[in-house]
Amino acid sequence: MPGLDLDRAFTPLRVAVLTLSDTRSPAEDRSGALLAERVVQAGHQLVHKAVLKDDQPSIEAALRALVADPGVDVVLTTGGTGITARDVTPEAVRAVLDKELPGFGEVFRAISLQTVGLSTIQSRALGGVADRTLIFALPGSTGACKDAWDGLLVHQLDSRYRPCNFAELLPRMGRGGS
């Protein structure tokens, strides 16, 4: 049965949070703040937090810099996953990824279906791996960030979660992993 194996050691991950929005300032960034708070509460390290404009080249550059930083294991983005003209986060993330994790978006939308109903179909949330860095692109609402963290990420980023988790795979991804 899935769940935490408390006989295993917890391995804290180093997490960056990027809010991607043309309308939010750092002071108004509730979704990024929620994710940062959840990251720290779960025992991980928040190593970077920023707000960037919805600009694909800027987002790609920021993601590439974080992926190149050996002090970052996970990047969580919030915002820009919808279907309007300014929503370019999935395109920026895909340009950086080595491997996409289709199941992340599928499971996120299944969880989100319970809270926002069929509106979840408008989300292009996705996850993947770039070198040895996990990247997850979440919608910009606090509710969506809660759904993603509480229903999925808190478990998959915990090295004690069984039967398997992303945290235990990080040493074997990219950067010389086997």
> Using one digit for the tens of pLDDT, what is the confidence trace for 6-23?
999 999 999 999 999 988
Counting every residue written for the chain, the total comes to 178
**pLDDT tens, 17-71?**
999 998 887 888 899 999 999 999 999 999 999 999 999 999 999 999 999 999 9
pLDDT of residue 176: 43
Which CATH number does 14-172 carry?
3.40.980.10
pLDDT the model gives residue 25? 79
* Domain residue spans of the chain: 14-172
Among 177, 123, 160, 121, residue whose Cα is nearest residue 12? 160
Per-residue pLDDT tens digits for 87-130: 999 999 999 999 999 999 999 999 999 999 999 999 999 999 99
Question: Could you tell me where the DSSP H helices lie in the chain?
Answer: 30-41, 56-68, 89-96, 102-116, 142-148, 154-156, 166-169
**pLDDT for 114:** 96
Paired tokens of 54: 């919805």
**Dist. CA 124–CA 131, nearest whole Å:** 22
Q: What is the mean pLDDT of residues 146-172?
A: 95
CA-atom Rg of the chain in angstroms: 15
How far apart CA 170 and CA 175 sit, in angstroms, is 10
Strand 3-4 with 161-162, pairing: antiparallel
CA distance 149 to 152: 6
Q: Would you state the pLDDT for residue 109?
A: 97
Residue 27: per-residue pLDDT: 81
Is the model's pLDDT at 175 over the cut of 60?
no
Q: Is 161 helix (H, G, I), strand (E, B) or coil?
A: strand
**What's the mean pLDDT in 119-147?**
96
